[in-house]
Structure 1
């Protein structure tokens, strides 16, 4: 028989390399491609968003550093250039570089002074650092954008790892152009996404041990810490500690896999304890250094009314039923909202938790992510304030959870309609001009489409699975308990 051919030196030293198509079709290659596309698109959108907001600034500036082009800009075409970033340059002593909360307070008329801002302390610190060295509102916008952009990039990276191609619902959403640099939302959104990532990645199996990288308790404690930081940025992530504690209580098991005696009450208490301790640790220095200033930010929110600039069902719905003038019940309207809003928030969030528990009782792992999203929907629906940029709060849950595409489409269409009209409506009202039909129509479409979607999502979120279910398990003794959505 003829001897087999002897391989050449080239064949011995240089093995065949997989083609680019083969590498791309592999999981890691596809992930890199998705991440690259998402980062390019999101960076472009954030850059466009900055350019749009920057048209409200530029020389000439007055003595306080306020641009003469504020608040309508010079080259505004479609997107309003107004942003809360530039608005708060004046009136909160940000332009005077006063360290927040320590020296200030609130007047009897509800006016903040002495560096107090109406946001939780970590957001106030971001504003202070964003204004460091700035002398104009344009400088403040630019430096704040530099602070915020890394959080936007972090969100994209984590959502790519968690949801693959679905990340484009965030990265390519018009909301990223409209709101990335409208307010200080990106850091608080990042805490939510980081929290989900800790739970999912912590549950992945270590191939060397066959066990999760982190135990359920350890993952939950770190997640609770991050959510508490989110609470100190914009409140709402703190709500998610409740469903997280319930997940730990049930040990991320189905009801058929655990008895009442096995419920982890100590672990659930630890989740709550970590959150409380973190919030106290962050807030306490400000309370000690300037209690009146720290308290003033809370007082401001308590006194805030559901007015025309809050985009809520209260102003555009209830107001028409009870009247809004001093002769026809304006005080009645404010009194009703003052009671009904917090009451319905509590009821709505309790309903979301109940839906989650019912989902667990029906034989599923407790859906802590879906329940958290449902609690957020209730909070956004019934709160006295519903700013357009809150779309960034809920958008990651559209990415992570398999939400009906029609709900997402209606929500985002309403969001665009609201943002493109609400700030124009403010200008018309300020000038006393006749209201334009399409402006009022856009505002109404935005407010009521959001309200309808949020009402549905209080229930719909809870049963929605993760779009890309991780092949992981938390409980060491139960290979069938996958990380819940």
Structure 2
């Protein structure tokens, strides 16, 4: 067989993904266009930033985290000036800042260039994440990835922060697991956790399905590889830049209730217990209760749940009980929500809620100190309709996923004679342990 003939099957397999890649690139471009009013000077005026709905963390952090002058992990800067992100993300920021400083002399121009270069990287991560998600979904449901490529909430939130980097790594992990490449899945999982912390929730999903199927060797290989990758990228900072490294963990622990969280509503309204107790304690207790429920569901369901379903439930539980729920967190959930239950009606309802929240948070900030522009902003009650809109619509999707787990005949993915397209070693594997068998 010639090299050309050997390449034909690969090229044939790649052709169906080309339109998805182009649409994802369109989504990335639209996300850039959304923030053009700020890129041309609006970021220097908070009122203009909020009224044009084009806020991003990327531009101000170039100055606030000393990226314009030094490495915030290793330099002797104030603790509150150090990067409050895990090390992979922090060093991505640092490398791009080096390039921006090399291209421009003026500090403001450097910051704009830093934003542009970051957007290029994030756009590439969005395209990669969409293609990886399509590969995970399989030929029968490849086009479900359009939700991640160009849905309104993704376009609006894409460049608020660096979350798309972790999104691409998470989708890569899921595809590697689906293809039964446990070492690669573990490495990508470790890197994802060292980028944003939320992929840690996927460890629990893998553990529960491993418990049910008894496939311990692949799980342990994946977890060992994840731990090794995490240690490799974190160890240099833990040894040589301890204060900078621990900034993320200290900040996460000490951070109070913030925008988007339901705990903010309870505090604002002065609810007994929910608005008075320590938010960290309440968050951990509520997350623990939801995770316990997910564990019981996984082990008691009449048929083993799909991996994407448990990942979605675990991640949604984490978001709903967190102390902060930023607008860009929608990027975490979209691919897993679609893979868990690709039904357009609840997804569209949730997307509308996310779009409303995206508008509401900036209008709400206009009415808060130090701006206090009541003529432009909205009040507490209007803002909290957006907070609860997200919670309720995600709760509806969770309820449908639970229904699909308890009644597998309702699962639209399994109606196509598929067991678990992302399951890897779990796919078509018989049960070794269930709560019913334990009782018997």
TM-score range for the pair, normalised by the shorter chain length:
0.7 to 0.9
Equivalents in 2 of 1:271, 1:72: separation in Å?
47
| Aligned match of 1:239 | 201
1:267 and 1:197 mapped to 2: Cα distance? 15
Quote the offset at 1:375 in angstroms. 0.6
Does 1:321 pair with 2:304? Answer: no
Of 316, 331, 334, 1:377 maps to 316
CA RMSD, aligned part only?
Answer: 3.2
Q: Render the CA deviation track for 1:430-458: whole Å, top value 9, x for unaligned.
A: 32233668675663332102112333445
Residue 432 of structure 1 aligns to a residue whose secondary structure is coil
Alpha-carbon deviation of 1:304? 1.1
Bigger helix share: 2
Residues 263-293 of structure 1: CA distance to partner in whole angstroms, max 9, x if unpaired?
A: 3445443333332222222211100011111
Aligned to 1:186: 164
**C-alpha distance in structure 2 between counterparts of 1:100 and 1:139, whole Å:** 19
Offset of 1:240 from its aligned partner? 0.6
Q: Is 1:392 equivalent to 2:325 in the alignment?
A: no
Measure the CA separation in 1 of the matches of 2:233 and 2:43: 38
Alignment check: 8 A CA contact 1:99 1:128 kept = yes
- 1:357 is paired with a residue whose SS is helix
- The separation in 2 between residues aligned to 1:155 and 1:45, in whole angstroms, is 12
- Equivalent pair of 1:45/1:172 in contact (CA under 8 Å): yes
Contact 1:83 1:181 in 2 (8 A): yes
1:290 paired with 2:235, answer: no
Partner of 1:32: 15
> In structure 1, what is the Cα distance between the partners aligned to 2:76 and 2:390?
36
The equivalent residue for 1:100 is: 72
Question: Would the alpha carbon gap of residues 293 and 148 (structure 1) be closer, same or farther in structure 2, given more than 3 Å must change?
Answer: same
Checking the alignment, whether the CA contact within 8 Å between 2:320 and 2:391 is kept in structure 1 is yes
In the alignment, which of 115, 118, 126 is matched to residue 144 of structure 1?
118
1:225 counterpart residue number: 187
Cα distance, 1:159–1:276 mapped onto 2, change above 3 Å: closer
The count of residues paired between Structure 1 and Structure 2 equals 398
> How big is the shift at 1:480?
6.8
- Secondary structure of 1:90's aligned partner: helix
Query: What is the match of residue 32 of structure 2?
Result: 50
Deviations 1:190-247 (A, max 9, x none): 12211221233x2xxxxxxxxxxx4xxxx33432221121111111112212222343
Query: Which structure 1 segments of 5+ residues have no match?
Result: 1-27, 60-66, 203-213, 252-262, 324-328
Q: How does 1:104-123 map to 2 (within 5 A)?
A: 104=76, 107=79, 112-113=80-81, 116-123=82-89
Q: Radius of gyration: which is bigger?
A: 1
Is the 2:363–2:377 Cα contact (8 Å) retained in structure 1?
no
Structure 1 residue 147: deviation in Å? 1.7
Determine whether 1:157 maps to 2:131.
Answer: yes
Q: Is this contact kept in 1: 2:419–2:428, CA < 8 A?
A: no
1:418-437 equivalence runs, <5 A = 418-429=357-368, 430-434=370-374
8 Å CA contact 1:375, 1:458 repeated in 2: no
- C-alpha spacing 1:54/1:475, structure 2 compared with 1 (3 Å): closer
1:320-360 deviation line (CA, Å, top 9, x unaligned)? 1249xxxxx9xx9574213101221222223223222222x
SS at match of 1:413: helix
Displacement of 1:145 in angstroms is: 0.7
User: 1: distance between equivalents of 2:147 and 2:277?
Assistant: 39
Q: Separation in 1 of the partners of 2:238 and 2:261? A: 32
> What's 2:98 paired with?
132
8 Å Cα contact 1:246-1:366 kept in structure 2? no
Work out the CA distance in 2 between the residues paired with 1:167 and 1:274.
28
- Is this contact kept in 2: 1:421–1:443, CA < 8 A? yes
Q: Deviations over 1:351-394 (max 9, x none)?
A: 223222222xx2x2353221111110010000001001111111
TM-score, with length taken from structure 1: 0.73
CA distance in 2, matches of 1:87, 1:73: 15
